[in-house]
Amino acid sequence: KWLQVKGIINENRAIDIKFKDKRSDNDKRGTFTNEQCHRILDLIHAGFSCNNSKRRTYGDDGESLVQQLIVLGMFTGARIAELQDLAKEDFLCDANGAPKGIYIHGAVKNSASERLIPLGDFPKWFKLDLSLFRTCRNEDYRYFTKDTLGKEVNKTIKKIIPEALEDNLTFHSFRHSFETRASKYENIN
């Protein structure tokens, strides 16, 4: 579909191809509706988080790491585990220190998932807060803590969308739902 939208191919020949789904019901993920995606974005924009502990808020602007992780994953399509592995050296910045791209290591899913993701324009209300890195001397310092942040992200989504629990909706589903909707617009970075 994306190749068709970008004009690289004229017709999508894979549209009617069906494959037998061998996943268990527990492994299947649902899809967020437009309304659910908007609800998550609106509350994340407003600074909503399940865990208001100071341990999870960093940076000059007091940005929540849960908010940072959800928006960054949404706009890059990166998995939680890939984002949690980001170190200072993985952020490519311009001369002014503004982030322009991130380097994803290929160890999470497979080695072929290694890639460089350009950071396009984020919504005006979102600022990727890298102020924590400016005083850090160690290049392999992790931006996101690894311990329970992924669980907090899913907990936040399930608190915003209570029906997510029964529909097996997770951050993984959200990033795919957002990407699917975004790919329908031609001027998405």
Look at residue 140 in the predicted model and tell me its pLDDT: 67
Q: How far is CA 106 from CA 79, 81, 112, 115, 138, in A?
A: 11, 11, 6, 7, 22
pTM for this structure? 0.67
Residue 99 burial (C-beta neighbours within 10 Å; 0-12, 13-18, 19+): middle
Look at residue 161 in the predicted model and tell me its pLDDT: 86
Look at residue 134 in the predicted model and tell me its pLDDT: 56
Q: How far is CA 103 from CA 76, 87, 107, 170, in A?
A: 11, 9, 12, 24
Beta partners for residue 57, in sequence order: 64
Look at residue 124 in the predicted model and tell me its pLDDT: 72
Which residue from 132, 130, 83 is spatially nearest to 105, judged by alpha carbons?
83
Which residue from 154, 135, 165, 186 is spatially nearest to 1, judged by alpha carbons?
186
Q: What tokens appear for 51 in the block? A: 């865990």
First-last CA distance in the chain:
16
| Domain positions in the chain | 34-182
Look at residue 170 in the predicted model and tell me its pLDDT: 83
DSSP single-letter state for residue 104: E
pLDDT tens-digit readout, 119-132: 877 777 777 777 65
CATH of domain 34-182: 1.10.443
pLDDT tens-digit readout, 77-90: 888 888 888 887 88
Lookup result for tokens 């399509």: 77
Confirm if 112 and 101 have CB atoms less than 8 A apart: no
Q: What tokens appear for 150 in the block? A: 């992924």
Which positions of the chain have pLDDT values less than 50? 53-58, 186-189
Which residue from 23, 22, 27, 31 is spatially nearest to 167, judged by alpha carbons?
31
Q: Report the distance separating Cα 62 and Cα 127, nearest Å.
A: 11
Look at residue 188 in the predicted model and tell me its pLDDT: 42
